[in-house]
Amino acid sequence: GESVGLHLPTLSVQEGDNSIINCAYSNSASDYFIWYKQESGKGPQFIIDIRSNMDKRQGQRVTVLLNKTVKHLSLQIAATQPGDSAVYFCAETRMDSSYKLIFGSGTRLLVRP
Amino acid sequence: ETGVTQSPTHLIKTRGQQVTLRCSSQSGHNTVSWYQQALGQGPQFIFQYYREEENGRGNFPPRFSGLQFPNYSSELNVNALELDDSALYLCASTPEVGRNTEAFFGQGTRLTVV
């Protein structure tokens, strides 16, 4: 069935270090993969997306890598800051049935001062 | 902060009761989706509304229903509440149907069923 999951439920990093959050997906027909950040008491906030025909995309301090061979997605955050502490979700969507996002269960990122 | 607003932010209901949650979409967005997020889980798609019609539904029973109004705002109604309905209910709007990568989420409504 369709699923998007995460390898690590909690990640603790030192402020200033780089963070890597991983995600495995099962549906190779997905067209887009998206990373969201969710802070306590707030809704998910879009971070970055990547189309399925790409393997890397960079944003401000963030990079998403897509490995379609092993159906693996990762989010790299450079120079992690205390404000990056949140739960991160990966999600997938498809253009042919793109009325929904399919979310994974999330990884909590804790940034130690 | 996004322009998607939800009300109320929190509420407590008794099992068997009915509840209505409201969502105002981002300016310029005509499509609204609702998601249920249980504690410690990722959001699960309930349904989407486009042009005041339901346009896709997830694996939720018929007691979950919705509406969309001409101004694109939306309501989620849940009848015969069960304890397992306790969750954060999220509304997301998109500029058009099929543009989920541009979804903006509201802050959610925390529903507790006792």
Is residue A112 within 8 A of residue A15, CB to CB? The reply is: yes
Q: Residue B35: enclosing H or E segment and its boundaries?
A: strand B31-37
> B90 — contact with chain A (CB < 8 Å)?
yes
DSSP secondary structure of A19-86: EEEEEEE--TT--EEEEEEE-TTS--EEEEEEETT-SEEE-SSEEEEEETTTTEEEEEESS--GGG-E
What is the pLDDT at residue B24? 97
Which residues, at least 6 apart from B13, have a Cβ–Cβ distance to it below 8 Å? B19, B81, B111, B112, B113, B114
At A96 the pLDDT is: 63
Asked if the model's pLDDT at residue A1 lies above 70, the reply is no
Q: Is the peptide bond before B8 cis (omega within 30 degrees of 0)?
A: yes
Mean of per-residue pLDDT scores for chain A: 89
Which 8-state DSSP code applies to residue B13? E
Q: How far is B14 from chain A (nearest CA, A)?
A: 23
Instruction: Give the tens place of pLDDT for each residue, B94-106.
Output: 988 878 888 999 9
Q: Please give the Cα distance from A10 to B41 (Å, whole number).
A: 13
Confidence at A6, pLDDT banded by 50, 70, 90 = very low
| CA-based nearest distance A1→chain B, Å | 13
Whether A2 has a pLDDT exceeding 60, the answer reads: no
Asked if the model's pLDDT at residue A92 lies above 50, the reply is yes
C-beta atoms of A101 and B100 within 8 A:
yes
For the cut 70, the answer to whether the pLDDT of residue A11 exceeds it is yes
Closest residue of A to B9, CA-based?
Answer: A41
B45 in contact with A, Cβ within 8 Å: yes
Q: Do A106 and B4 touch (CB under 8 A)?
A: no
| Residue A8 at interface with chain B, using a CB cutoff of 8 Å | no
The per-residue pLDDT for range B1-35, each reduced to its tens digit, is 669 999 999 999 999 999 999 999 998 899 999 99
Cβ A101–B58 below 8 Å, yes or no?
no
Return the pLDDT at A27. Answer: 81
Q: What is the pLDDT of residue A5?
A: 46
- Tell whether the model's pLDDT for residue B39 goes beyond 50: yes
What average pLDDT does range A101-107 have in this prediction? 89
- pLDDT per residue over A20-69, tens digit each? 999 998 788 888 999 999 998 899 999 999 999 999 999 999 999 999 99
A43 Cβ under 8 Å from any chain B Cβ: yes
Nearest to B101 among A93, A104, A105 (CB): A93
Burial (CB count <10 Å: 0-12, 13-18, 19+), residue A19: buried
Mean pLDDT over each residue of chain B, to the nearest integer? 94
Set of chain A residues whose Cβ sits within 8 Å of the Cβ of B43: 44, 89, 101, 103
